Amino acid sequence: AQSVTQPDIHITVSEGASLELRCNYSYGATPYLFWYVQSPGQGLQLLLKYFSGDTLVQGIKGFEAEFKRSQSSFNLRKPSVHWSDAAEYFCAAVKAAGNKLTFGGGTRVLVKP
Amino acid sequence: KAGVTQTPRYLIKTRGQQVTLSCSPISGHRSVSWYQQTPGQGLQFLFEYFSETQRNKGNFPGRFSGRQFSNSRSEMNVSTLELGDSALYLCASQWSVGTGRETQYFGPGTRLLVL
């Protein structure tokens, strides 16, 4: 079955420190991959997406993600976290020629002052 | 351009009742998808509508249904509500040629509480 896994449920990081959120997928063929962020009481906002090509993808708000086919991973990173980055982050995947997003369980990020 | 809007934002119902949620997509978007978000099950795909036709369906019981109108607005209905239907229901719209490459834009959600 197709699945997306985010191993870390919670991550606490100090403001100004770097952040890395892990995402692994299990699909027959490489899916299209996305990272979304959800702030409390809000819907989901797209941070970045990967279809093919360059394995390092730049997104909004200073985020980037690296696709590694050999590890079936699509990890999200930010060099220096701001207090406003406290939110829940979701990795998602969709098959080519499909519109059904499959989400990971999410990682809640807490930012310490 | 206005984003995806969902109404109502909050809803309280009792078991056995039915509920209808509404979603207005971004202007020009023709596809609307619905997702259920719960603490236990996370984000799960309910169904997708395109040009007034259901194009994809998730693994939910028949109590969950939807429809799309000619202006692309969509409604979802849940009949015979159960306590486990308490959730945040998210709607997402996209232009949609069905390639999977398009960004789905999410609304703020409708939070449903079933008592």
Question: Tens digit of pLDDT for each residue in A39-75?
Answer: 987 889 999 999 888 899 999 999 999 999 999 999 9
In this prediction, residues B78-85 reach a mean pLDDT of: 97
Contact (CB, 8 A) for B54 and B40: no
In this prediction, residues A4-25 reach a mean pLDDT of: 97
- pLDDT, mean over chain A: 94
Contact (CB, 8 A) for A25 and A111: no
pLDDT for residue B70:
96
Asked whether the predicted pLDDT for residue B101 surpasses 80, the reply is: no
Chain A residues closer than 8 Å to B30 by CB: none
- pLDDT, mean over chain B: 94
Contact (CB, 8 A) for A64 and A51: no
**Spatial CB neighbours of A84, under 8 Å, sequence gap ≥ 6:** none
Taking phi over 0 as left and psi of -120 to 50 as alpha, with beta for the rest, B98 belongs to: left
Cis status, amide bond into A31, omega within 30 of 0 = no
Chain B residues closer than 8 Å to A104 by CB: 42
Asked whether the predicted pLDDT for residue A96 surpasses 80, the reply is: no
Q: Which residues of A touch B (CB under 8 A)?
A: 31-32, 36, 41-46, 49, 51, 90, 92, 94-106
| Nearest one of A51, A35, A57, A42 to A103, comparing CA atoms | A35
Which 3-state string (H, E, C) describes A68-88? EHHHCEEEEEECCCCHHHCEE
Chain B residues closer than 8 Å to A94 by CB: 100
Asked whether the predicted pLDDT for residue A11 surpasses 80, the reply is: yes
Neighbours of A100 (CB within 10 A): 19
When pLDDT is cut at 50, 70 and 90, the band that residue B49 belongs to is very high
Asked whether the predicted pLDDT for residue B100 surpasses 80, the reply is: no
When pLDDT is cut at 50, 70 and 90, the band that residue B97 belongs to is low
pLDDT for residue A30:
86
In this prediction, residues B13-32 reach a mean pLDDT of: 96
Contact A43 B109 (CB under 8 A): yes
